Amino acid sequence: MRDLFEATERGSLQPEPRSLAETRRLAAACTRCDLYRNATQTVFGEGPISARIMLVGEQPGDKEDIAGRPFVGPAGQVLDRALDAAGIERKAIFLTNGVKHFKNEPRGRKRLHKRPDPGEIDICRWWLDLERKFVHPAVIVALGATAIRSVTGRSATVSSLRGRPTGLPDGGTLIATIHPSYLLRMPDRSLADAEFGHFVADLKLAVRTAEGDRAA
C-alpha cells in the first residue's frame, strides 16, 4: 500500500498534457508506478486521432516492449487476422493498452508475462483517459478483463458484458470481448476456431455501433 501511495504521489507531479503528442512524450518518461523499472520503454497507443474505434488491450508483451508499438507480437497477429475478417483496416483504428509498460518476471533468458494488478491498472488509467480525451472514439473495444477495468474503472468479467453495447459516461460505447492472446492459449483448435468467430462477431458489432453513432 505504501508503494502504491508513493507511486500516486509521483504521478501527481505531472502536468496535464494539452495534446495527444504531448501525452505521448510525457508518457515516455512515466514513473507513476514501478512497472517502468523492468521494461524497455513505454508502449503508447497508435492510430489516427480521428479514429472512430479504439481497441484497448491489457499491456504490451515481450515483442511490443522491444518494438515500442502495440500488438506487434503473436497476439497482434491474431488480432490482425480478426480485423481483416471483420473488414476493419488496422490503420483506421486507434490501438492501445490499459497498462503502458510490460509487466514481466525474468526467468532465465525469458521474460514471463505477469498480469498487472488493480492498483497498477488504476494508476495507468491516467494515460488511457488522456488518449480517450484526445481521440474521443465513438466505440471502445475492451479486450479482456484488464481492459474493462482500465476503461470503466471497475472490475467485470468479459462474459457479463459481452454481446451488448454499454454506454460510457463520456458518451462513447463500450464493447467487451476477449483478448486475442486467449485464443493462443486454447489447446483445442476447433474450440479456438469457434471462439475466433465469436471474436470477429464482436469486432463487427463495434463497426455497426460506430456506424450507428455516426448516422444518429
Using CB under 6 A as the criterion, which residues of the chain lie in contact with ligand SF4 when the complex forms?
27, 30-33, 35-36, 42, 99-101, 123-124, 127
Q: Residue 179 contacts by C-beta under 8 Å, 6 or more apart in sequence?
A: 57, 58, 75, 143, 144, 146, 147
Residue 44 CB, shortest distance to ligand SF4, in Å, is: 9
The DSSP line for 121-166 is HHHHHHHHHHHHHHH--SEEEEESHHHHHHHHSS---HHHHTTS-E
Closest CB to ligand SF4 among residues 42, 177: 42
Residue 26 CB, shortest distance to ligand SF4, in Å, is: 10
What is the phi-psi region of residue 136: left when phi exceeds 0, alpha when psi lies from -120 to 50, beta otherwise?
left
Residue 76 CB, shortest distance to ligand SF4, in Å, is: 19
Residue 77 CB, shortest distance to ligand SF4, in Å, is: 24
- Scored b (16 or more CB within 10 A) or e, 94-126 reads bbbbbbbbbbbeeeeeebebeebeeebbbbbbb
Residue 123 CB, shortest distance to ligand SF4, in Å, is: 5
Closest CB to ligand SF4 among residues 124, 174: 124
Q: Residue 75 contacts by C-beta under 8 Å, 6 or more apart in sequence?
A: 57, 61, 179, 180, 181, 184
Closest CB to ligand SF4 among residues 122, 202: 122
Closest CB to ligand SF4 among residues 98, 165: 98
Residue 39 CB, shortest distance to ligand SF4, in Å, is: 7
Closest CB to ligand SF4 among residues 73, 165: 73
Instruction: Please give the torsion angle defined by the CA atoms of residues 56, 28, 22 and 10, in that order, rounded to the nearest 10 degrees.
Output: 100
Closest CB to ligand SF4 among residues 105, 193: 105
